[in-house]
């Protein structure tokens, strides 16, 4: 580098405006905290656990935002970046919830009570495959699933606001026509509850084994991509 270029570089560095300090966010955080508490107290007057749902939703939203947890990214990142870190995180979450939900359901079963969540055991049919495929395309184009979209709407992303608008429109349309689809398409399949097939212990072992195999495959895939990128 010549002396002229060096001097020009020094002058540009000297005349560069210093970075503005970031504004203090603490007052906004305190105001928001007061509003949250006031909102929870108002909702608590209505009963029915609404205040609890409100606080729980805020906590989950904060966790999602800070962890950048997103089901879409867990399926998309292995193809785009080769990283399966979030994929393995989702699989670990599935393993933990498998044990927790199995314990809750088995406890109700042993007590002779209705097993919670059985209304969500729906038939498996070709409609399941088509629906999963369409939802997968949609969430990749939109840049997020339901949880990821809600989280990014809170961050102020316009694209996710647009996605949320059509998410609501599509959900309302789907709810309006769901009766017809359920009668003519969905109910053509067979509902499968793994404890009815393999027993409670066998169902948990098989599901955890499948999750473990997927986890190991994701880890091997990550290592292979990382090794290929380093060469």
Which one, of 148, 156, 161, 160, lies nearest residue 72 by Cα?
148
**Residue 18 resides in a domain:** no
Q: What is the CA radius of gyration of the chain?
A: 25
Based on the fold, state whether residues 180 and 134 are members of the same structural domain.
yes
Give the number of residues written for the chain: 231
**Residue 13 resides in a domain:** no
**Residue 156 resides in a domain:** yes
Based on the fold, state whether residues 47 and 77 are members of the same structural domain.
no
The predicted pLDDT at position 231 comes to 63
Based on the fold, state whether residues 117 and 196 are members of the same structural domain.
yes
**Residue 217 resides in a domain:** yes
Based on the fold, state whether residues 132 and 113 are members of the same structural domain.
no
Regions of the chain where pLDDT drops below 70: 1-18, 229-231
**Residue 8 resides in a domain:** no
Based on the fold, state whether residues 34 and 59 are members of the same structural domain.
yes
Indicate if the alpha-carbon torsion angle 29, 34, 38, 40 is positive or negative. Answer: positive
Query: Does pTM top 0.75 for this prediction?
Result: no
Per-residue pLDDT tens for 51-85? 888 888 888 888 877 777 777 778 888 888 888 88
Based on the fold, state whether residues 156 and 49 are members of the same structural domain.
no
Based on the fold, state whether residues 213 and 101 are members of the same structural domain.
yes
Which one, of 172, 122, 164, lies nearest residue 147 by Cα?
164
**Residue 19 resides in a domain:** no
The predicted pLDDT at position 1 comes to 52
The predicted pLDDT at position 71 comes to 78
Based on the fold, state whether residues 88 and 137 are members of the same structural domain.
no
Q: How far apart are the first and last CA of the chain?
A: 32
The predicted pLDDT at position 216 comes to 95
Total structural domains within the chain? 3
Based on the fold, state whether residues 197 and 113 are members of the same structural domain.
yes
**Residue 11 resides in a domain:** no
The phi, psi pair for 156, rounded to 5°, reads: 95, 15
Domain that holds residue 219: 69-121+192-231
The predicted pLDDT at position 119 comes to 83
**Residue 3 resides in a domain:** no
The predicted pLDDT at position 201 comes to 94
Per-residue pLDDT tens for 170-180? 889 989 988 88
Based on the fold, state whether residues 43 and 100 are members of the same structural domain.
no
Based on the fold, state whether residues 129 and 46 are members of the same structural domain.
no
Based on the fold, state whether residues 116 and 201 are members of the same structural domain.
yes
């Amino acid at each position: 580098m010549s002396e002229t270029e060096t001097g020009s570089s020094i002058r540009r560095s000297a005349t560069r405006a210093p970075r503005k300090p970031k504004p203090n966010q603490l007052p906004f955080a305190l105001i928001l905290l007061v509003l949250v508490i006031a909102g929870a107290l108002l909702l608590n007057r209505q009963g029915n656990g609404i205040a609890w749902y409100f606080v729980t939703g805020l906590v989950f939203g904060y966790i999602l935002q800070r962890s950048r947890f997103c089901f879409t990214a867990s399926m998309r990142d292995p193809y785009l970046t080769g990283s399966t870190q979030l994929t393995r995180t989702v699989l670990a979450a599935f393993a933990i919830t498998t044990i927790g939900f199995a314990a809750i359901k088995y406890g109700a079963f042993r007590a002779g009570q209705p097993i919670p969540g059985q209304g969500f055991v729906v038939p498996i049919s070709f409609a399941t495959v088509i629906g999963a495929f369409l939802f997968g395309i949609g969430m990749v184009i939109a840049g997020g699933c339901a949880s990821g979209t809600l989280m990014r709407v809170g961050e102020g992303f316009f694209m996710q606001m647009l996605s949320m608008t059509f998410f609501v429109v599509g959900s309302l349309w789907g709810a309006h026509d769901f009766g017809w689809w359920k009668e003519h398409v969905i109910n053509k399949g067979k509902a499968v509850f793994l404890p009815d097939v393999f027993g409670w212990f066998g169902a948990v072992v098989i599901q955890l084994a499948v999750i473990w195999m997927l986890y190991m495959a994701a880890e091997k895939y990550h290592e292979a991509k990382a090794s290929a990128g380093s060469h």
